[in-house]
Structure 1
Amino acid sequence: MSNYNTTYTEVETDQSGRHPVNVGHLVMGVAFLGLASIWLLFETTAIGDEDLRWFLPLPWLAAGLAGLLAVALTGRRTKPEVIGSYAAAPAHTEPEPLWAPDPGAADLDARLAADIEAAERDASKDPEKP
């Protein structure tokens, strides 16, 4: 739906083979594993009720640490910019319309007025109908 005629052969692709880290997924995965581990320990009576107040914050701390390490080690690198890949694109074009105008929208008021008049006529002919 773009007005730009871009060929994808001009754009360089990332050939490093590394998958970018999604920090949100990593943090929630670490938190889930930690909470599941604490639940397992509690159900097997390895830890008691009084120990839960010390164990429950640990998954959140580990998840936060994992998120900080992921951001620090990956450095939030982005793909290298390719200069000249969009050189064929025009400087300014008119945007495409988001929707087509409704051809029947001009006479909506007239149709509504006619429907109201018809309903009033029908109501005046048979006043017993609701």
Structure 2
Amino acid sequence: MPAYLVRTIEEHDLVGVFYAPNTYSLAFMIDEVLDPDDCEYLLIGPDGVVWSSPAVEIPVPPDDEDDDGSKDDPVPWSGARFSESWWMAVYYESRKRWRKIEHTVDDLYGLDPEAPEPAPPSSPVKSGKVLPFKKD
């Protein structure tokens, strides 16, 4: 499965690193945080995010007080780093070409977020009639 490094087109701001079977699935993942139409991706090879020292027990023990997600994330992301090939993709200009994500919200959900709301019906909808069926 391909790995993608994703950034915004205008600011070149890092959006994330994703594994997805195709760019359509990638667009769904990006839509959690941004409009995928505003992003571009670079195909990157297999690699990962690593910690060079002890980080956190996995699975992370549940915290009963954190049901609403308000508590800080126990994973020490500040101690994490990209492994070598991903680090190179982030810190050096790649010879590979960044590609615009060609899938829009309209493609994903079948709607245009810029379209105006439809007008309400002019008259109330009448209920239907029940027709009896004859048994032969």
- Normalised-by-shorter TM-score class: under 0.3
Q: Which has the higher helix share?
A: 1
> TM-score under structure 2 normalisation?
0.25
Q: Which has the higher strand share?
A: 2
